[in-house]
Structures are given as C-alpha cells and as structure tokens.
Structure 1
C-alpha cells in the first residue's frame, strides 16, 4: 500500500512526499503538504519524523508515533493556519467556517463587526491564509488608492543649516564647539509613519507565507512598491501603537488586519530548528477575545463594566489567587462571574472541573448564579447541593450562525445576567 492511499477503518489523511528535482530547469516541484484539522480527538496522519517533531516543538499539537513507519497519532490541535516545517507546508483548517472566524477576529479587535463577508471576496477560499491574504490585499489597495498616508515625524539630525530646534547641548558635546554641522530637531512630513510601517511589514510577512495565491502575490508586491522608503518593523520588535483618528480613517479596515498578520506570523521568531515561516492563531484565544468584546457591547445598556481576568483571592489570607475570565462590575461590586470555555470533553460532555471552578468563584463573591459560555455542547442549568441554592448556567454559542445572530445571543445573556435573582 502506498503512502497516498487510504486505509479502511482509520482516519488517515493523504500525504505525498515529492522529491525535489536537482535540475534548475523544468517545472517547479510543489512543496510537500501535510493537512491537519482543528480537533480534540486523535487522528492518524502520515508525515516525516521531522514534521512530527516540529509540531510538538511549536506547540501546535500533541503527536505520538504508532507501530507503522511515518504514521503518527495527532491530537489536541488548537492552532489553525499554515506553517512550514522541515520543508513541508502544514495546513491546519479550523472547524469554524473561515468567514465566521474572520468576523470573530474583527469583532475581537475592534469591538464591532468591521470585517463583513462582502468586504473581502474570499468566498471560494477554504483555508485561513489565502482568505487572510485576499482580505489584507484588498483593504491595503483601497487604503493606498490615493497614495500613501503622510504625517509629521520628529527627527534629530546634523545639518549644514539650522532647521527646527537647535540642540545646543549635543552641539557642544558632539562637535566640540564647531559651528557646523548643526545638531537640530525638526518635524518632517513623510510617509515613514507607524500606519505605513504596519501595512508594509504585514505585506512583506504575507509574501513569505506558504499558500498565498499567485494573483494575490502580485498585488501584494504592488503594495510594497507603493510604500518604498517606509521602514519595515524588524521581526520580534514591538509593533507601533496607532490610535484611530480622522487623519488615518482610510486605514481603519487594513490596520487591524495588519496587526493580525503580525501577531499570527510571530511563529517566525522561533529560533533554530525545523519551524519556518507561518501564520497561526490560537482558537481558544480567538473565542475568548470575541466573547469578551461582544459581552462588553451587550452589557452597555445595563450599566457597570465587564472586566477581563479580574484578579482576586479565594482565601482570606490572600494566598490562593483566582482570575475569573469575566466579571460584571457595578459600583465596584462583582455582580456576576462568567467563564469562557472553547472546548467540551469527549462525547459532548461538559467538564466537571469547569463547574467546580465557577462554583468557587460564586462562593468567593457571594453570588447565587454562575455562567459558563462554550463554543459547543448544549444549554444546561445545574442546581448545586447546599443551602445557598447555587445554579450554574452553561450556555452554548452557535458559531455557525451569523454575527447578528451571535450578538442577539450575547444580548440575551446580558439580559439574563442583569435580571438574575
């Protein structure tokens, strides 16, 4: 049986290792590809040992060998995207449709549904990176249609004439009293500003990623040419913070996408080994950020504020630290605790540990009701034993639904929490 065939009764995925031709002439040989899918349950995959080791090193999945050569049991896949490992492109597809994933990412980053389906034109794309490349290129091209944004940047320089402010101290220490050149500080009106740096750096990172469609590559190169002379943010350096205002309004859609590219492409910072360029996002983080942003919006009519990772202690002595995912704070008092959970246990069962955790939070803040929000499962209410009559509401969100449907579900959660007995 060859490596590219399916074996009955198993979850093998097709894998074909193609040899690279030594000749520099002739057609380009495609990079070997390994396909995974976001999942909790173990599945069998064929891949080289180096790829399996890279998946573990990059904390992408749990991998264990079987008794068959180049066969591995893969489980706990929480990241989605694409990454190059040992000269193989490893594609990880999300369970959530790409369109819905994009909408969640946009909501989490901007607090509203800024990335609507019709804005991007990736209807045929099944994978995250091609969709991301299409979306970014389209928004970057629209933002740069009238030319690159310019802004004032303060520069320190030594010039043959006085421009701006004369830095007398630097003149004395660096020039020894010589009149020229003059140490000055001045404001320059240039294109090398934070907004353009983010867009250019994101475009260059995308050009290095496997899986970017050929037609998008050409358009991304045009984006790079338009921003010629702008500084690329070094890998590992913090991205500049850009505050939205009237001046950069036309960049409002592309800047969150650029930040997403830079955050997901941080896989490039891994030192050494077999892991190369890639773009990966943690689904649990996407879900938690999305729920946090959406609930903040849903609770606005009810007053107070939603606080993430609220720091407190479980014991009087203050030694047992706790940090509920979300609390509803009204006049400095915790009125509700909400924990966000991306996964459920096997066979669709909610983990008992989640109930223990939310029950402890409710006991700490003297609450009668606690809330667990899941990405799957089914709605359920549990009444716990004891004199307090504590109830735990487990709420499932339908991630396959539209953003408007999801926001309605969040509004219902906010109403339920605010009117709880």
Structure 2
C-alpha cells in the first residue's frame, strides 16, 4: 500500500505516483493534484481543509493509495473544538482521551473506543421503542384502519401497535453503526481494533443501519447520560465517513473532518454560549434572511443574535483561513456587508482562525457600515480560547447595544 502524508494547508509536496493514481486523486477531490512539470512521474499534492485518512482504490492497480492528512492544530485541540461544538457544558473535562496519537484516525479510533467502553461496559441501555406488526393476540392497541385494509374483516391475525422495552433503541443502533464503520476504516491501530471487535460482539443483536438511511434521532436524558459522549463521537464518525463509488470505478474509503466546519461550529456555539446570559437568542446558520425585497436571494449567516424583542443585533461569520501579508480576503467583506444590509445592522463581524493582526475594521463609504475582522489563535489552551471567545462576544454585544441606542 502506497502512503502519502500531508498537512492541511501546508506548501505542496511532490510524490512519485503513476498517472492512473494521480488522475484518481484528481477525481477524488480530496487534495489538489497536478503533474510535476520538473520531475517526470511525480505529482504535486496539496492538502486543503480536510484532515483524516482515506484509501483511494485506483482502477487497474492492486494496492490503494492511503492519504493521511494531519491538522495544523494539535490533535487534542481538534477534539476540543469538535467536542465543545457537540456539548459545550460536558466536553471541557477531558473526557475525550486521544492518548499519544498524532494522526486523526488513530486518535479518533482510540477516543471512540474508550467512550463506547464507558457507555456499554456495564450493559446495554434499554428503552421503549414504538413497534407495529401482526399478532395472534392483542398487545397494545389495534390499528383499526390497517386491520380493515389488510385483513378485509378477518379477526386474526390482528394489526397492533405497542411500545416494546428493548435494547434495540436509537442510542445502541448509532453505536453499532459507528463501530461497524470504524472497523472498516484503514489505519485503526491493532489494539484498538481488537477492543472494538469485542464491543461489536456486545452490540450483535442490535439492528444495523441500512446504507443511506437517515441516522436515528435521540435526545439527552438522565438515563442515557453515560452514552452521550460516545453518541456525539458516533455521529461525527458516521457523518465524516467517506465511502463512495465515483465515475470510472474509483472507490474511496476513509474518514475526513472538514476543518472549515469544525471551526465554524466551534465559533458559533461558543458565541451562543457566551451571549446566553445577556438575553435574546443565538441562531446558527440563520434561515429566513434574504437580500432582496422579493425574497428570492437567500442568505445563511453563520451566526445571528436576536434581542429579546426578536430584532437582529449581531451577525458573525467564521472563516477558517489565515490573513495573508496583504490582509484578509476582500470577498469576505463584501459578503458581510450584504449580511448587514439584509439584517439592517451597521456593524458585522468576521472571525478568522489566526491572522497577522488581532483586529481590523473598515467603515464602508456612503453606507457607514463598520466591518470587523478578528483573529482567533487556535494554538492557545482550551480555557484561554474560551476566554477569548467570551471577550469577543462581549465586544460584539457592546457594539450592538451602542448601535441600537443611536
């Protein structure tokens, strides 16, 4: 198996690859791949914002290419950002242990296996599941309409609906699906795989999910509290899994995090948490925002904070990109100006993952709108990062209130 190690958004590297393998990487769209003009038989590869590991099966070649893409931030920091987005009150206590792993997939496999052990080590959670079926005895209630439609007046069997107390519930189905998925991924350490196989045996009686089926929904309760960390990771595994057949017989299998989404989710959830004590409500990926009066041009700001009377007071957008020598991208300013115009706000906020300066602001000519660009240093410790987010939220609220009083 040929392995290529890359770092997200790092300078491009040249690697010896066959033409078929290079073209496969182009078709997979996981990294940028172009033929090296200086070294025949080599391809120039550059990773973007996706991190993780995938095996690309090249048609006509026996061995797949394994791409391992590491994040710029430490693995522990990545899992903090991810975990805080899932559960801001429950993931600050170091529950997600990534051990000594320096790659995303082994660390994820280790963390998931530990959480599953904590969840099901004392036995599988049980609960009530709504069940419908046919029976010779009445149990629960009779589905009268279905009885008439299917039985044409016959007394038996009876179409019934009842609540069954079982282990085959949404929580366990998610854990089984994520465990199955993890066992199929390349690069899972042997010891972790062996423990996952043991846990998979405990979940053997749980109904597997059908590929393409919508993930079952669950809600946090006191009864499933020991499952919650594992369930958050299970959803991340199932949503980040990459297994698909592409044109030309190309197949990829692996797991990828999109750092754009990880950063965006963290910033928005952290802002919502920091602003919760000020009244109003924070909305992520706000709907119902339109640029034009006819409401044909829809917009989706990453974060909008509405005051207690329902009026928008703060708009923010998260950008996982560093400022360049010449400053931040102009296109981001145009986008934020459109958000401010549509929401009737005179100030907007762009939050970047690190940058050359901690804060820059621009007053738009004629309109008077002020657009703020702020940098967030992800190299800082989690507690310090949350303090930075709290300070940022306070500044946004201060400018919102001063604008509201004008």
Aligned to 1:105: 82
Within-5 A mapping of 1:291-370: 291-310=267-286, 311-316=288-293, 318-330=295-307, 331-344=309-322, 346-347=324-325, 349-370=327-348
- Runs of 5+ consecutive residues of structure 1 not aligned to the other structure: 1-30
Aligned to 1:75: 46
User: Does residue 56 of the first structure (1) align with residue 33 of the second (2)?
Assistant: no
User: Displacement, 1:48?
Assistant: 3.4
User: Does residue 210 of the first structure (1) align with residue 186 of the second (2)?
Assistant: yes
Task: Name the SS for the 1:63 alignment partner.
Answer: strand
The answer on whether the counterparts of 2:128 and 2:166 sit within 8 Å (CA) in structure 1 is yes
Within-5 A mapping of 1:2-401: 31-39=1-9, 41-67=11-37, 68-75=39-46, 77-86=48-57, 87-112=64-89, 114=91, 116-117=93-94, 119-171=95-147, 173-175=149-151, 179-265=155-241, 267-271=242-246, 273-310=249-286, 311-316=288-293, 318-330=295-307, 331-344=309-322, 346-347=324-325, 349-377=327-355, 378-384=357-363, 386=365, 389-401=368-380
Could you report, residue by residue, the CA deviation over 1:100-150 in whole angstroms, capped at 9, with x for unpaired residues? 111111111223351644x34433100111111111111111111211111
The answer on whether the counterparts of 2:336 and 2:348 sit within 8 Å (CA) in structure 1 is yes
The answer on whether the counterparts of 2:312 and 2:343 sit within 8 Å (CA) in structure 1 is yes
Task: Name the SS for the 1:289 alignment partner.
Answer: helix
TM-score w.r.t. length of structure 1: 0.85
Cα distance in 2, alignment partners of residues 354 and 159 from structure 1: 62
User: Displacement, 1:46?
Assistant: 3.0
The answer on whether the counterparts of 2:364 and 2:370 sit within 8 Å (CA) in structure 1 is no
User: Displacement, 1:97?
Assistant: 1.1
Task: Name the SS for the 2:243 alignment partner.
Answer: helix
Q: CA RMSD in A?
A: 2.4
User: Displacement, 1:359?
Assistant: 3.0
Could you report, residue by residue, the CA deviation over 1:6-49 in whole angstroms, capped at 9, with x for unpaired residues? xxxxxxxxxxxxxxxxxxxxxxxxx3211121116433333333
TM-score w.r.t. length of structure 2: 0.88
Structure 1's 65 and 167: CA in aligned 2 closer, same or farther, altered over 3 A?
A: same
User: Displacement, 1:262?
Assistant: 0.4
Cα distance in 1, alignment partners of residues 110 and 317 from structure 2: 34
User: Number of aligned pairs?
Assistant: 389
Cα distance in 1, alignment partners of residues 142 and 343 from structure 2: 59
Task: Name the SS for the 1:259 alignment partner.
Answer: helix
The answer on whether the counterparts of 2:129 and 2:166 sit within 8 Å (CA) in structure 1 is yes
User: Displacement, 1:300?
Assistant: 1.0
Cα distance in 2, alignment partners of residues 251 and 152 from structure 1: 16
Structure 1's 186 and 384: CA in aligned 2 closer, same or farther, altered over 3 A?
A: closer
- Runs of 5+ consecutive residues of structure 2 not aligned to the other structure: 58-63
More displaced 10-residue stretch of structure 1: 209-218 or 45-54:
45-54
User: Does residue 412 of the first structure (1) align with residue 383 of the second (2)?
Assistant: no
Aligned to 2:60: none
Task: Name the SS for the 1:291 alignment partner.
Answer: helix
